[in-house]
C-alpha cells in the first residue's frame, strides 16, 4: 500500500508542474530505498499552457504507450490527462496484485 501511495505522490508532483507522463507503467518507476522517481519522459507533454483550457481532443496520431496499462481515453486516441496517468497507475497496481486481472491483457496492439 505504501508503495502505491508513493507512486501517486510522484505523479502528483509531475502534474503540479502541468505535465502528464502518458506512459505510466511499472518499468517507468525507479525505486531506491524509500525514494520513488518517475523515468522515461518520451511521451510526456505539457497538459495546460498558461491561459489555455485543458481540453480533451483526439490526437489522430495513433496509439502511443504500453497497451496493457493504457487508459480507456488513450485507447480511443484521445490526448492524455492527469486522470489517464492515474488510471494507468491503477492498472499497474492491478498487475502487481494479479497480472491476469488487467483488462487489456492479451489484446494485440492494432
CATH of the domain at 76: 1.10.510.10
d(CA 19, CA 73): 17
Q: Is the pLDDT of residue 29 over 60?
A: yes
Which of 9, 23, 34, 98 is labelled catalytic? Answer: 23
Pairing of strands 35-38, 29-32: antiparallel
Parent domain of 34: 2-38+58-101
In this prediction the pTM is: 0.83
Residue 23: active-site member: yes
Average pLDDT over residues 24-48: 90
d(CA 70, CA 80): 10
Question: Is 91 within a domain?
Answer: yes
Question: Is 109 within a domain?
Answer: no
Q: Give the HSE-up count for residue 22: Cα atoms under 13 Å, Cβ half-sphere.
A: 20
Question: Is 15 within a domain?
Answer: yes
In whole angstroms, how far apart are CA 86 and each of 33, 70, 108, 110?
A: 23, 10, 23, 24
Question: Is 92 within a domain?
Answer: yes
Question: Is 82 within a domain?
Answer: yes
Question: For position 76, what pLDDT does the model report?
Answer: 82
Average pLDDT over residues 19-37: 91
Question: For position 52, what pLDDT does the model report?
Answer: 64
Q: Is the pLDDT of residue 21 over 90?
A: yes
d(CA 36, CA 65): 21
Question: Is 74 within a domain?
Answer: yes
Question: Is 43 within a domain?
Answer: no
pLDDT one-digit tens code per residue, 51-109 = 666 555 556 566 777 888 888 888 888 778 899 999 999 999 999 889 888 877 776 65
Amino acid at each position: 500500500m505504501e508503495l502505491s501511495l508513493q507512486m501517486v505522490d510522484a505523479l502528483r508532483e509531475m502534474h503540479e508542474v502541468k505535465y502528464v507522463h502518458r506512459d505510466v507503467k511499472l518499468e517507468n518507476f525507479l525505486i531506491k530505498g524509500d525514494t520513488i522517481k518517475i523515468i522515461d519522459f518520451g511521451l510526456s507533454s505539457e497538459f495546460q499552457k498558461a491561459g489555455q483550457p485543458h481540453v480533451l481532443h483526439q490526437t489522430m496520431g495513433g496509439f502511443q504507450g504500453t497497451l496493457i496499462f493504457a487508459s480507456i481515453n488513450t485507447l480511443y486516441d484521445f490526448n492524455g490527462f492527469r486522470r489517464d496517468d492515474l488510471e494507468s497507475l491503477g492498472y499497474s497496481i492491478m498487475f502487481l496484485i494479479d497480472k491476469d486481472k488487467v483488462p487489456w491483457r492479451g489484446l494485440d496492439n492494432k
